[in-house]
Chain A
Amino acid sequence: GAGVSQSPRYKVAKRGQDVALRCDPISGHVSLFWYQQALGQGPEFLTYFQNEAQLDKSGLPSDRFFAERPEGSVSTLKIQRTQQEDSAVYLCASSFAHEQYFGPGTRLTVT
């Protein structure tokens, strides 16, 4: 079937706006991860779900970041009151048997 999809692919937000980033994992994948990738750097872990349970949110940089996966499938990463330092590519990955499959990412630019 289809791979991991993310929407929107590009998002420009004015500082202070709220944004919501969507991830559609591969069907049947139990685990779902969010990563933040700054320009020229490797992805940094944000949070992890197993089905609908958020098992690890240690990487979320502040309480302005919130993620959910209410039915154990689609996930949404929400950033409130965006700041310029939130500008990055946000990657979603779903996994099966210790292999992660990445989506194309959402490039967020905060102006």
Chain B
Amino acid sequence: AQTVTQSQPEMSVQEAETVTLSCTYDTSENNYYLFWYKQPPSRQMILVIRQEAYKQQNATENRFSVNFQKAAKSFSLKISDSQLGDTAMYFCAFMKRFNTNAGKSTFGDGTTLTVKP
């Protein structure tokens, strides 16, 4: 079974600054996906960024980037130029690669990020 650990229950950052959210995971699988999701208060979960385990290059999406360390089983999220709209709960998730279809995801317990003006 897979486990995902987010060791920072809460974090805060000043607007326009950079923040890094940590995530570690444990698996015996070699082919898998890792995700960061954003869940604003009382709003639905949306995908922020995705990393495929076989790719060595770290994924980036505009102000969001990851530091994927496969050997260390670490997958951190860096948010640059933080904006007030980034305030949300962030979840790290693991998905085993399953043929051509998605498998179930295993989520961490989340990090609540507050961006301060």
Query: How many pairs of A and B residues are in contact by the CB < 8 Å rule?
Result: 60
B11 / chain A contacts, CB cutoff of 8 Å: none
Partner of B46, one of A41, A56, A96, A102: A102
A41-B110, A42-B91 known; A100+B105 contact, CB < 8 A: yes
Partner of A43, one of B50, B102, B107: B107
- Is A76 part of the contact surface with B, judged by Cβ < 8 Å? no
A31-B102, A42-B91 known; A99+B47 contact, CB < 8 A: yes
B55 / chain A contacts, CB cutoff of 8 Å: none
Q: Is the CB of A30 within 8 A of B101?
A: yes
Q: Is the CB of B50 within 8 A of A95?
A: no
A42 / chain B contacts, CB cutoff of 8 Å: 4, 91, 93, 107-110
Digit string of A80-105 for contact with B (CB within 8 Å is 1, else 0)?
00000000000100011111111111
B106 / chain A contacts, CB cutoff of 8 Å: 45
* Total chain A interface residues with beta-carbon distance under 8 A: 26
Digit string of B76-117 for contact with A (CB within 8 Å is 1, else 0)?
000000000000000101010100111111111110000000
A31 / chain B contacts, CB cutoff of 8 Å: 101-102
B107 shortest CB reach to chain A, Å: 3
For B112, give the chain A residue with the smallest CB separation.
A40
Please provide the 8 A-B residue pairs with the shortest distance between their CB atoms, ordered closest to farther: A42-B107, A95-B102, A102-B45, A104-B44, A45-B104, A98-B102, A42-B109, A43-B107
Q: Is the CB of B44 within 8 A of A102?
A: yes
A15 shortest CB reach to chain B, Å: 25
A3 shortest CB reach to chain B, Å: 8
**B33, B37, B43, B107 — most chain A CB neighbours (10 Å):** B107
B114 shortest CB reach to chain A, Å: 15
Partner of B101, one of A35, A50, A91: A50
Partner of B102, one of A35, A40, A91, A100: A100
Q: List 16 A-B contacts (CB under 8 A).
A: A33-B102, A35-B105, A40-B109, A40-B110, A42-B91, A42-B93, A42-B108, A43-B45, A43-B91, A56-B104, A91-B45, A96-B102, A97-B100, A100-B102, A103-B44, A104-B44
